[in-house]
Amino acid sequence: MIDTNVLRKKIIDLAIAGKLTDHTSGNASEELDKIIKTLNNSEQRYISDDEKWISIPSNWTWGRLVDLTTNSSLNDGDWVLSKDMVSEGPVKLIQLGSIGDCEYRYKGFKYLTEEHFNELNGKQIYPGYLLINRLVVNKMLSCIIPKMNGILMTAVDVCWVAPNDELYNLEYLMYVLSSTGVQQKVKELGHGVTRFRISKLNLIDIAFPLPPINEQQQIVDIVNELFIILKRIDDLQLSYVADYESLKNKAIEAGVYGKLTKQLSEDGSADSLFEDIQKEKESLIKTKKLKKAKGLPTVEEGEEPFEIPDNWKWVRIGEVFTLQSGKNITAAAIKNEADDDYRYLCYGGNGVRGYVSKSNVSGRHALIGRQGALCGNINMADGDFYATEHAVVVYQYANTDPDWAGYVLKALNLNQYATSVAQPGLAVGKIEKVLIPLPPVEEQKRIAKTIEDVLAAIDMAG
């Protein structure tokens, strides 16, 4: 199993050290001076080298929550006694257990009447506020309140921060509070044995890296994008607990089934792409660059193996690709190393076999292994190369993405269509009839990129 929590911590630490973004604009020190002046805060206090726990980019600075906020934008929750609570009411008390590590946990609420809320002179907080749990178990936790109805308040061991997009990015503050450096400072400044907590005064005095406001948003966007990938991995692991290779296969299936990408209206429809493919193939047939293929059965209603997005289309492999078997070449014609005469890679059913003196394929294409134990094996080849008789070259049309083609073929488990003889083999005519889901070209590219990112994350964790 992949420990995605370890990866999340690493991503946050890299992000707030400035390792995931370019530092091309803005001066955080000047911005912080303006913030302090705008808020009428005291002059920015000196931050010693002992407080600076990492190196930061030259246009960043070190800041504290006390520099960025006032009592009206950062404060503690209210002191509420158990006897003051009711079973139902209009005022929802967000409890400590609902504050997760950069995520809100739906743990339910305690309730107050509105009359008692007013008697307490309670502070109303709102969706979009940052909550910080100062009662520390393993680490100090923080999250942003999601959309919800009702009058919201929180408990005294919770510090809240109101959003102010002109002064700071609240999500960036959430991530920086979760970082290893801040968490270490919390352990140093906290107190208590049975109930370890950090006071609000100590919390808001912890120094942390502060980028320019525009770069704060860039960091948030990158971290969120990477966390989405990790969430996909989490979902895959929950539904399929197995070894890494099996997990990779499930990731590929999820991608080519449309489970990992959004469908965008600007992508158009697969129907339009399908027409473009047929026109290109017809043009190649007319110029005798492509042989006319036998007609394939139409896709009947109810034949589809699963549901696909509305702008996708079910097609047969032979309708959108041309499958061409490689050519025979003797072992003597293959060398282990490249030289002036032998410079083209030779591909068989299991990938690269060596170098040859000529090529019979150009471009980037998926290759299908067609014989023996490697029957149905999918590899990608690029450039000028030679495909042997053990490989089937997959030619694509109308800018269809070759990497997507490789992934969709991998998801099919083509060896199930092999002949059941002593030496298994795949017949091109049989493969051509297999159904595949066809997305628009731009989504094909997003699918290939997303699958690539997920597989890279799996490898990194392994």
Q: Which string of DSSP letters, residue by residue, matches 357-410? A: S--SEES-EEEEE-BGGGTT-EEEE-SEEEEBTTEEEEEE-TT--HHHHHHHHH
Q: What is the pLDDT of residues 233-269, one digit of tens each?
A: 888 777 665 567 777 888 899 999 998 888 899 999 9
**pLDDT tens-digit profile of 101-153?**
999 998 888 899 998 899 888 899 999 999 999 999 889 999 999 999 999 99
Instruction: Give me the residues paired with residue 344 across strands.
Output: 356
Four-residue CA torsion sign, 31, 34, 36, 42: positive
- Tens-digit pLDDT profile for residues 44-59: 678 898 899 999 999 9
Query: Domains along the chain?
Result: 74-163 (no CATH), 264-438 (3.90.220.20)
pLDDT score for 421:
63
Token output for 252: 């590929």
> What tens digit of pLDDT does each residue of 266-298 get?
999 999 999 999 999 999 999 999 998 888 988
Pairwise CA distance, residues 323 & 253, whole Å: 22
For the beta sheet containing 109-112, the strands, ordered from the edge strand earlier in sequence to the opposite edge, are 109-112, 91-94, 151-154
**What are the tens digits of pLDDT across the range 389-421?**
889 999 999 999 999 999 999 999 888 888 766
* DSSP category for residue 156: T
Q: Does an H or E element contain 258, and which? A: none
CA atoms of 374 and 48, how far apart (whole Å): 62
C-alpha Rg value of the chain to the nearest Å: 30
Q: Are 61 and 32 in contact, with CB atoms under 8 Å apart?
A: yes
pLDDT tens digits, residue range 14-42? 999 999 988 877 899 999 999 998 998 77
